[in-house]
Each structure stands twice: as C-alpha cells, then as structure tokens.
Amino acid sequence: MESSPPPPAKKPKMSSASGSDEDPESAAAAAPRRRPKRRKVAIFIAYCGAGYQGMQKNPGAKTIEGDLEEALFLAGAVPEPDRGNPRRYDWARAARTDKGVSAAGQVVSGRFYIDPPGLIDRLNAHLAAPIRAFGFARVTSSFNAKKFCDRRRYIYLLPVFALDRTAHPDREAVLASLGSDNELAKCSECSLRGRKLPGLPLQDPPSDPRSDKAFQFGDEERSRFNRILGGYVGTHNFHNFTTRTKAEDPAARRFIVSFAAGPVVRIKDTEFIRCEVVGQSFMLHQIRKMIGLAVAVMRNLAAESVMQTALRKFSFLWVSKREFFWGRDVNINVPTAPEVGLYLDECFFTSYNQKWKDSHEAVAMEGYVEQAEAFKEQFIFPHIADMEEKEGAVALWLHSLNLRNYPDLG
C-alpha cells in the first residue's frame, strides 16, 4: 500500500529582525503614528478689546474666546471632533471681560495637544494681531483658570480732566449759566459732535471760570480721590454696581482688596490717572460703575454718603432708639464709566502655586512681563488714547453725568 505524500513544507515567516528587501522608510510610513497625549495647561494671553463683543463666546458676535477656540484648532491643539465644543477639552477663563475691555494678563486653561513643540508660535500664527499668546504652564489635571484664580487686578486709565468739575458741563448747566458771572462754556471738541449750543462761542474751558488757575491733579485731589476709592475696599454688597442682581443674592457680596489712584501718565496728548483695583472677583460692569460713582462724587454731583448708601443691602427703618427693622432694598442708579479705559492687568493663583510648588511650575506672569508691557504700548494704550482724542469717549460721557439722568445721586 502506497503511503500518501507528505504535506508541503510551510514557508518560514520572515523575522522583522532578519534581512529583507523591503524599504524600511516605507515600513515606517505604513506603521500607525501615535497621537501625542493631551496635557492640561494654562495659557497666558493678551488682547485689545477694540472691535470685540467681550471675552466670552456669544453666538453671532465677534469675541476673543471665539477667535481663540478657532486658532487652537488650527494650531493642532484641539482635534476635529472637539472643534467648537470647548467643554470637551475643559476650557476655562480666569476672567470674563466686557465689550471693548482689553487684557494684558488673561489666563485660559484646557486639555490640549502641545506636542510637537511650538504651540505658542502656531497659535499666534492663526490669531489676529490684537490677540497674542505669551506662553503656557503645565498644570494639574484638576486645574481650572476661573476656580483657581485667587485675585484679579484691573487698571482703569481715567483722563485727568474727568475730575475737573468745570470741564465738559452738561447742556442744561451751560444754558443755565448764560449771562451770569459764572458763565460756563462747552468744549469745541464736543461741539463738533452735535452738542453745539446757540449763542456760545467755540472754546475749550479746561480751567475753572472763577479762577485763573488750571485744574491739576495735585496732592489734595489725589488724597480725596483715594479716600473715595478706599470706600470700596472690604466686603460689600455691590448689587447697585451691576445689572439684574438682587440685593439678597449672595453673588452681590464681593471682596475688594485694594483700590487706589496711582501716578499720572501721559499717552500721546492726554494725561490719565492710573486707577488700580484688586479683588477676588468682579461682576458685570462693577468696576466701571465704581469708577463712575467716584467721578460723580469728585465732580460734586453726589455726596460721599451716596456711595455708602449704594453699598447697603437694605435701608433701615427705625422704630425707637434701640429697635429697628430691615426696610426695602436700596436701589440706586449708578453711572457707568466708558469701557475703553479698563483692562485686565493680571490674574493671581497664589493658593494653587503654594500647594503645588514642589511638583508643578507656577501659574504666574513673571516670565512674560516684558512681553505684556510691549503689548500694552503697542495696542492697549494707543487705543485708549485714540478713543479719547478722536471719539471723546469720556468727555461725551461727562455730559450725561447730571442729576437729570441720575436723580438718585442728588
């Protein structure tokens, strides 16, 4: 009986280590590339608020956040499935700036692809010039730029003439003064913007018509202004310094660390007072309203007691010398200073940095001070000066600062 032929021998498999005629470069190209891991980082940015509807993204509006999100995608930091969906990469901002408000030390955080190196250069390549990224810091997985920010420092550049109560008087005051010994004249700049009054010559009145001495922000004025600003320091109920917030809302209670008027700085042809405020957090329009009421007090439109009243939660109704009960909410219409002079100067993460100092780099602006100052000089300061010189942002606002528009100040 014939035996069946043996089965054909199997071809030995080629070992990857053995020699082969296959092109190693082709094999490497065919191998799947490993996607780098996402890393939680805090990114330091600056921007000029001109032409933007604020920091926070808003459908149909041009915002800083909207431009940033798109630039992060184009820079390769965000994958296609997460494009336009910041929640998927833990997006957070340290502060929410209003329309037209700038920032020199804003911080945002999220989980991004930071490899290969060069994320900041790629990001800036896809951002408009008024928005710049300075750098980033690796942070803990639980880091959140909003929740971990201890304090925020804002600067308001207020034109010196805003504190001169004889400059830029309102229309009614000018008309009422005609023919009197204290006749007030309006400025020619505001006249050219539709505020020309019949029978009044075009002239600029930077000085008190009852004195030959021009207004100056000297030691006496500085001392008074700082006393007024100091009234905001501490924990108060700021429901009158924002919108749509009730007196009983816990969110109305805010802590102000410091508020003071610094040196006078000249930008182009205008002198500004550098007003610096530091607080844990701020509500919508809060800083602009604090500045607005302080200017009203300095111009003698309102007594300093009005500011104390505006910071109360309720009014007191006295029954006897020893008894009182809560009355109605204190509601005062507080003037809002223009947004153009305000910018976010720096965000502080003191508690976080102290806790993680041994394992993570600090989230701080120390390494980007020169870049931030250069950005202010190039974008923020010229914008503030131009808005005053060409548009008269504060000058025109002063015309509306009267008891007819704000009867609660009287």
Which residue, among 101, 90, 84, has the nearest Cα to 157 in the 3D structure? 101
DSSP state at residue 380: I
| SS3 state at 386 | helix
Give the list of residues 6+ apart from residue 77 with CB closer than 8 angstroms, or none. Answer: 112, 113, 114, 119, 122, 123
Distance from C-alpha of 100 to C-alpha of 338, rounded to nearest angstrom:
9
Strands (E), 114-233: 131-138, 151-159
User: In this structure, how many other beta carbons lie within 10 angstroms of the beta carbon of residue 228?
Assistant: 20
Quick one: pLDDT at residue 180?
Answer: 76
Given the candidates 3.40.50.300, 1.10.10.10, 3.30.70.660, 1.10.150.120, the CATH classification of the domain at 152-164+215-349+375-409 is 3.30.70.660
Residue 128 · residue 67 · CB < 8 Å: yes
State which residues of the chain have pLDDT below 70: 1-35, 171-172, 184-213, 314-328
CA pseudo-torsion sign 291, 297, 301, 302:
positive
Residue 144 · residue 404 · CB < 8 Å: no
Distance from C-alpha of 294 to C-alpha of 121, rounded to nearest angstrom:
42
Quick one: pLDDT at residue 352?
Answer: 98
Q: Which of 82, 98, 164, 345 is catalytic?
A: 98
Decide the pairing of beta strands 38-47 and 131-138.
Answer: antiparallel
Quick one: pLDDT at residue 210?
Answer: 39
Quick one: pLDDT at residue 208?
Answer: 43
Residue 170 is among the residues annotated as catalytic for this protein? no
- Opening angle at CA 171, ends 170 and 172, nearest 5: 95
Domains 38-148 and 152-164+215-349+375-409 are alike in CATH topology: yes
Q: Is the pTM of this model over 0.75?
A: yes
**The CATH fold of domain 38-148:** Alpha-Beta Plaits (3.30.70)
Supply 133's token pair.
Answer: 């990224």
Domain coordinates of the chain in residue numbers?
A: 38-148, 152-164+215-349+375-409
Q: What phi and psi, each to the nearest 5 degrees, are found at residue 108? A: -125, 155
**Length in residues, the chain:** 410
**H/E element, 347:** strand 342-348
Query: Where would I find the H helices in 231-321?
Result: 286-298, 304-310
Quick one: pLDDT at residue 313?
Answer: 72
